[in-house]
Amino acid sequence: MICRRSFLTLLLFVSIGISFAQPVHQQVEIVVTPDHLNWEYKIGEPATFTIQVFNFNVPMKDAKIVYQIGPERMKPIRLDSAVLKDGKFVTGAVSLKEPGFLRCVVTTSFEGKQYRNLATAGYEPGRIQPTVSMPSDFDAFWKGAADELAKLPIDAKMTLMPERSSAITDVYHVNFQGYAASRIYGILCVPKKPGRYPAVLQVPGAGIRPYGPDLEIADKEIIVLTIGIHGIPVNLDPAVYNNLSSGALAGYFYYNMNDRDRYYYKRVYTNCIRAVDMIFSLPEFDGQTLAVMGGSQGGALSIITASLDKRVKYMAAQYPALCDLTGYTKGRAGGWPHMLSEANKQWNSDEKIINTLAYYDVVNFAKGVKAESHFSWGFNDETCPPTSFYAAYNSMTAPKKADIFLDTGHWLYPEQRAAINKWVITKLKNL
């Protein structure tokens, strides 16, 4: 039985954090274009990049640029400068000898300000294979965590938020019991009209922030549960989250990496199962039609949830983080948060950390996904390198599709976000 308590509270609404903001136009803009229309190349095929610099949309002649070309996040193959005599410059040809991504980064200065842009060529990305190993007891480890969770009651508490509700949807601030007696907090949207409805679980991108209702989806008569992962209410003053971000929870994704049972994400991953339990406990849920969605860290959690909990029928993920983390140990880009990168090389040789991360790498969860899946990303992502998330995508055998918006980085176009929501709504409503 779900207890519904009411108290007066103020919720500051922010997005669920599935993407970063789309870059804004600037006075000076650099345009970098690979010489293949689809930005894709065969192994060993030469790629060139055309570079143009515009000031108020007018090509800048004699603009001086510095450019570097090389595998993403790795030492550049070519580092050089040039002057755009006629407003345009074409780089020399560079190629890759194995599947991956070749990135051209360009900078220029104008009136004391530096500008930057990039483009990324994909070399047979469908052939990228993961570097991370699969522990022999991977499934047993996560089954053990799920079994521990199953012994605990949900103990859900719901507080109606009339100021956030719509004419169609009731909005609640909720909390319920999770793994190791932790609490999970979130925002729950439930249709006002009596009936039984499909549902979507929204899992968050990285960071510490408040959350608000996603009425764009909920007002389609869909139950929406948006959760936080840090065990704190999601309707507090923003100053609380700012203080936690720079204090107690700074770098939370590194906490206890040398111990697979104490690593920060064990509670997080397991609590995604409990969030599904919460949805299934709702009398308004139809008992079967469930999707999970999110971007970046939320993209990772979407894949993980769909893998750990086969009650999930549909999954939508954007540029997932935490993929193929060991890529750096093999001389190529690994996934966010880059704990094995050159900048964090003090951990590169720590076998305990490398062994722990194998239990949390999205690649190993991707292999177990059965849900029908929709992905969306671009080649220019510098936060979650495409090499890393293609390693996970290529490991999946479930029905899947990827919408590629080539020039996007760690952000979404409005059209891209609309396409994701349309796919989720269409699947849930059987349209």
Q: Half-sphere exposure of 48 toward its Cβ, with a 13 Å CA cutoff?
A: 9
Contacts of 419 (CB under 8 A, 6+ apart): 376, 403
Computed on alpha carbons and rounded to an integer, the radius of gyration of the chain in Å comes to 23
Cα distance between residue 12 and residue 8, in whole Å = 13
Cα distance between residue 189 and residue 215, in whole Å = 8
410 an active-site residue? yes
Tokens read off for 203 = 């899992």
The enclosing H or E element of 147 equals: helix 138-150
Is residue 226 classed as helix, strand or coil in its secondary structure? strand
DSSP-assigned states of every residue in 331-396: TS---TT-TTSGGGGGGTT-HHHHHHHHTT-HHHHHTT--SEEEEEE-TT-SSS-HHHHHHHHTT-
Question: Which of the residues 19, 296, 302, 388 is marked catalytic?
Answer: 296
381 an active-site residue? yes
Angle at 138 between CA 137 and CA 140, to 5 degrees: 65
Q: Half-sphere exposure of 30 toward its Cβ, with a 13 Å CA cutoff?
A: 24
Does the CA dihedral 209-210-216-218 come out positive or negative? positive
* 156 contacts 283 by C-beta, under 8 angstroms: no
Residue type, 244: L
Instruction: Report the C-alpha dihedral over residues 113, 114, 115, 120, rounded to 10 degrees.
Output: 180
Cα distance between residue 388 and residue 128, in whole Å = 9
Question: Which of the residues 302, 376, 381, 395 is marked catalytic?
Answer: 381
* 6 contacts 160 by C-beta, under 8 angstroms: yes
Which residues are catalytically annotated?
296, 381, 410
